[in-house]
Every structure is written in C-alpha cells, then in structure tokens.
C-alpha cells in the first residue's frame, strides 16, 4: 500500500536521495533509541520524522502556537528501507510534496551511514487554534517553504 | 492518501469500531506521553501501535527472537482522527487484515474516552534471523492469529 | 552514599513497604520501556517516579501551572533494589517525608510483582512562575498532602 | 541531602566545571525531549546521564554484555542546577570519582549554553552475568578508566 504511493505519478521527487532535500535535520543516535536487538526502535523513526518537521517549521517561522495558528498532523505513511546502527548520526530531510489551500503534504527521507533507512509522507493541516478549524496557509509561509524545497 | 486506503474495497473491516477487535491492548496514559499542548504526542500513537502489535504476537507465541524467526516492519500508515486526553486509558486493537505467504497486513484502531483517535495499517514480514530473508509464516501462528480476528 | 540516606535517623518511614503509601500510581509496563536485556530501562524508573509525583500533585490540586505557581525539582536520589519484568504492572507510591517552608521532600517506593524495585527521594521547590523565586507552600496544599501521607 | 554530598570531603573534583572532564558526550536536543513548559523534561536528564555513561564504557571497551560481565546501576543522585533550552546541544561529562573492588562511583556534569545544568553521582557494580554476582573490575578497564579521568 505504502509502496504504491512511491510509484504514484503524483510523486514529484525521489525521497531516497539525500541531495533532493534542502532542509536536513541531524540527530545523534542514543542508546535509549535502540531496541533489544540493537537496532533503531521503529517508534524512533517517527520521532526523527517529527524532529525534522518541527525544525523545518521553526526555520520558516511557523512553529506551533505562533500567531494563533498551529499545524495538525492528519496522516502519516512510512516505508522502512533499512536498519539504523548506533552509535552515529541520522539525517532526516523534509520537503513539501504538494501544497493545498489549508493543508500540505510533506515528504521525508531518513539517512544513516550513506543509505536511506526510511521514507515518509505526511499530511499537515493548518488550524486556527481558537476555532479549531482549518486555516489557509499564510502566503509568507508558503513562499518560505518553497525556498526550502517545496513543490507544487 | 491514507484516507483513500480506508475506502479501499480490499478493506475487510472497519477499524474505527472497537467491537471489531478481539485483541485489545490497554495502556495507561502518562504525563511523559503528552506534548507541550497537553495532547498525546504524535510519536506516542506509534508507541501504542507497537505495544498492541507486540502484545498480539506475544499472545500467539510469536514474539521477537522466538525460534530463530522475527517480525520486521516494512511499512506503516496512520490516520489521526481525534485528540487523546490524559489522564486516562488508551485501548489499541490489532487484527490481521490480510495474510500473505511471508508477510501479513495488520489493521489497528486506537480508542480513548469512547471515540476512535486513530487507525493504522502496517505490513509485517516474517524473517529468518540467520539469513535475514523472508520466511513463510508458520501454519500454527496463522491459525492462532485467525482465532484472534485474522481475515483472509 | 544514597544507601547512607536510608539509614538516616531523619527518615520517618520505610519506603520499601507498599503499605506505607496512601497515594499509589499504577503504570502498565510497555515494550518500549524495556532495554536490550529485557529489563526495565534505568531511565524509566525516573519516568515512573515522575508519573507518581505528578499524579499526587494533581490529586491535591497543585499540578503545574495552576494559579501561577509551579513545582521545580531540585534534587533526586534513587536506589535500585531489583529488576522489573514485563509484561506487568508497576506501582509507585509517593508521600511527603518532610515539609519545609517553600520546599518539601518526597519519598517514593516502586513495586513490581510483590517486591520493591527502587526507592527514591526528591526535593521539590514551590516557585512563583512570574518571579521565578521560591514561594511558601499554600496551607491548603500542605493539609491535603498530609492527608495523603505527609509527615513532618 | 544531595547538596551535602557536594560538600563531602570525599569529593575529589568539582563536577560543575566542564574542564574537569576528559570524557564528554554530546547530545542534540530534540523537540521530544522538552516538556509542556518548553524546558528539558526532568526524566531526560537521566537519559543524558545514561548516554554519557554508556559512551564512556564503550570507549574503554566495557559496554554491556561484553565478555559475560555487565554493569548494574545501584544508586543515582542528581542535583538540578539550571534549565536547558532547545534547540541546541547538551554535553555530559563522566569520570570516575572512586574505584572499589567490584564497583565504582561515577561523577557527571551536564552542560548547556555555557552553564552547568546538573551534576550527578552514580554507583555502578560490575556483575558476572551468569551468576548475577559482583565481579572484580578487570585491571585493564580500571587502567583505561583512569586514563579518561578516573580518580582514586
């Protein structure tokens, strides 16, 4: 299922290639990240997706709570492509695959020791914190996100 | 994208209904699970998916490392449907949506205060730990998983 | 060092006995709590200490942020007395060992499968969130904490 | 209590000074590390203590499970001295305060933005994994730990 998404004609960029990301977040692997088998715990893949996303939004001045609007995650798909070994570094890139009016679709690639360990796609909705309803993405955010590799 | 999956004709069961799950795992929400806004952190949704899956595999005698075979997660899609509030309980059901030869597709529903907070689907591959290659799911496991709500 | 504390004459109560706690918080162990050796990860002991403390303060109406005051942790000592095995339950009791004017000393015991897995002591300071300075513990909180097993 | 420890005449080194540590572990702060108030969660202080300790033992070739012996934590005391702000880096130094026959006492300092955020002391016991009993610290480990700042 998630695999079909990767073959989708809508996909504008190959998320398994680090050079396709202008925004890249680095995380240092911790002993606490590894599971009983010495591999990166599956749940931590999502933590790194979250870290890269938060860093991107912070970079464009749109982190949570700013100016009465927030981002809400609506859906996330991840495809696991390889193991991650500690100690070391994980780099997670994030870009915008597609802009909607009140939402956008992010694409992510996670890299460790020169290979892609996972790709992910997530749908984020811009929400007015007072009403709880979707809110059009501010043009200035849209522009900044495009500068950091946004498509569509 | 993930939403289309829900409408897919292959879907054999509605994951938003708790009564559709024979296997249900209960977790007590922790202060440490909540994010800065007082909601369940997104990453923790995956932790609860993991807990329910691990408990299911343990219930059928197929937890990690048993008998030289292990489960490897290949892909996961989650759709967020509502907030989760602490303190309280989260219940996460897991069933088998579809059996393959060496893999299976799990369906999950997460419930809090009487509503469905998220649904998830994940593809798990049975792997021989020595060779690292896919291994046919043992008939006895298949039977036990069907007894706990497996389809296909 | 921490062991000396246990022999200290100031100690008013034996923290290794569950019956000494009026306030007990229950946590369900998670796969994610366990380390590579199948034991409860050391860091998680502190998470359970935190959960029990937060639950106690919530029970007496003094959780963080309430009414412009907050609790700040100044110091924590823990003594590890035994392993914790999953799956199962951990129960962590918290009581007040000693009241100061703007601070108090908590005592904790952590229990699993009928034995005491750890004891802990921590010093919490009541702080005015605006000034960042210590603030006298409100008499009503003091009274409620005494009802839940406070000493001194 | 923990504060008395700091004034103890046995203390051979000031743990609030980064220059006193030969072994320093660096961690990148994550959004997931922060609590609802935007500060580093208290539990994460212990995670960083663990990371620095694990890295030290790995550096001297004595990480868990190696050669049938393991380290078991017996006690830990931490003193919180300041807030930690994200994004940024935390550096945690570890040294040996005192060697025993089968155990040792570690001293740690945690640093963020040029100030010391916490100090910690912990007692670690060398254990034979088969018998579960204390085991004399191997001379070669003792030597290497002294080279990385061990005292006593």
Interchain pair D26, A27: CB under 8 A: no
Query: Which residue range forms the structural domain that includes residue B87?
Result: 12-149
Q: What is the pLDDT of residue D7?
A: 46
User: Which tens digit of pLDDT belongs to each residue from B65-119?
Assistant: 557 898 999 999 999 999 998 899 999 999 999 999 999 999 999 999 999 999 9
Q: What is the pLDDT of residue B37?
A: 73
- Gyration radius from chain A CA atoms: 16
Closest residue to D77, CB basis, from C46, C64, C77 = C77
Residues of C with a Cβ under 8 Å from any A Cβ are 32, 34-38, 41, 43
Residues of D in contact with C36 (CB under 8 A): 64-65
Q: How many CB pairs under 8 A join A and C?
A: 13
Q: Are A120 and A73 in contact (CB under 8 A)?
A: no
Å between A79 CA and nearest CA of chain B: 4
Averaged pLDDT, C21-41: 91
Report residue B118 as tokens: 């998220």
Q: Is residue C7 part of a domain?
A: no
d(CA D95, CA B48): 37
| pLDDT tens, per residue, chain A with 152 residues | 344 444 445 568 999 999 999 999 999 999 999 887 778 999 999 999 999 999 999 999 876 555 789 899 999 999 999 999 888 999 999 999 999 999 999 999 999 999 999 999 999 999 998 898 999 999 999 999 999 887 86
Strand partners, C52: none
Å between D73 CA and nearest CA of chain C: 7
Interchain pair D79, C78: CB under 8 A: no
Q: What is the pLDDT of residue A37?
A: 73
Interchain pair D36, B34: CB under 8 A: yes
Residues of C in contact with D46 (CB under 8 A): 42-43, 46
Interchain pair B26, C28: CB under 8 A: yes
Å between D107 CA and nearest CA of chain B: 27
Q: What is the pTM of this model?
A: 0.90
Interchain pair B2, A77: CB under 8 A: yes
Alpha carbons within 13 A on the beta-carbon side of B132? 2
User: Which tens digit of pLDDT belongs to each residue from B13-67?
Assistant: 999 999 999 999 999 999 999 887 778 999 999 999 999 999 999 999 876 555 7
Å between A118 CA and nearest CA of chain B: 9
Q: How many CB pairs under 8 A join B and C?
A: 27
d(CA D50, CA D64): 12
d(CA A59, CA A55): 6
Q: Is residue C1 part of a domain?
A: no
Q: Is residue B3 part of a domain?
A: no
Q: What is the pLDDT of residue D148?
A: 87
Q: Is residue B48 part of a domain?
A: yes
Q: Is residue B6 part of a domain?
A: no
Interchain pair A36, C35: CB under 8 A: yes
Q: Is residue B111 part of a domain?
A: yes
Residues of B in contact with A36 (CB under 8 A): 64-65
Interchain pair B75, A73: CB under 8 A: no
The number of distinct structural domains making up chain D is 1
Q: Is residue A3 part of a domain?
A: no
**Most confident listed range (A95-104, B53-62, C55-64, D5-14):** A95-104
pLDDT of C5 strictly over 60: no
DSSP-assigned letters across all residues of chain C = -HHHHHH-TT--S-TT-GGG-S-EEEEE--GGGB-TTSBB-HHHHHHHHHHHHHHHHHHTT--TTGGGEEEEEEEEEEEE-S--BSSSEEEEEEEEEEE-SSEEEEEEEEEETTEEEEEEEEEEEEEETTT-SB-PPPHHHHHHHHHTT---
Å between D57 CA and nearest CA of chain B: 27
d(CA D44, CA C21): 26
Residues of A with a Cβ under 8 Å from any C Cβ are 32, 34-38, 41, 43
Q: What is the pLDDT of residue A146?
A: 92
Closest residue to B47, CB basis, from C32, C51, C55 = C32
Interchain pair C80, D64: CB under 8 A: no
pLDDT of C8 strictly over 60: no
Sheet with B69-80, strands from edge to edge, namely A24-28, A89-99, A103-112, A115-128, A69-80, B69-80, B115-128, B103-112, B89-99, B24-28
- Going by pLDDT thresholds of 50, 70 and 90, the confidence category of residue C11 is low
Sign of CA dihedral C19, C22, C28, C33: negative
List the single residue in C with minimal CA-CA distance to B47. Answer: C32
Closest residue to A51, CB basis, from D31, D47, D50 = D31
Q: Is residue B59 part of a domain?
A: yes
Residues of B in contact with A105 (CB under 8 A): 1
Residues with Cβ within 8 Å of B121's Cβ and at least 6 positions away in sequence, in order, are A1, B5, B15, B76, B77, B97, B105, B106, B107, B108
CATH code, domain with C109: 3.10.129.10
% residues pLDDT > 90 (chain D): 72
Alpha carbons within 13 A on the beta-carbon side of A26? 9
Å between A89 CA and nearest CA of chain B: 20
Q: What is the pLDDT of residue B140?
A: 92
């Amino acid at each position: 299922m998630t695999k079909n998404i990767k073959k989708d004609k809508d996909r504008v960029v190959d998320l398994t290639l680090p050079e396709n990301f202008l925004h890249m977040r680095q995380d240092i692997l911790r002993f606490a990240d590894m599971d009983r088998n010495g591999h990166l715990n599956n749940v931590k893949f999502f933590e790194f997706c979250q870290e890269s996303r938060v860093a991107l939004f912070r970079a464009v001045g749109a982190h949570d709570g700013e100016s009465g609007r927030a981002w809400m995650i609506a859906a996330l798909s991840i495809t696991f492509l390889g193991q991650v070994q500690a100690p070391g570094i994980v780099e997670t890139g994030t870009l915008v695959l597609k802009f909607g009016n009140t939402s956008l679709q992010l694409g992510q690639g996670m890299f460790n020791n020169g290979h892609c360990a996972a790709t992910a796609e997530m749908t984020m909705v811009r929400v007015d914190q007072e009403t709880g309803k979707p809110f059009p993405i501010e043009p200035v955010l849209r522009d900044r996100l495009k500068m950091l590799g946004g498509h569509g």
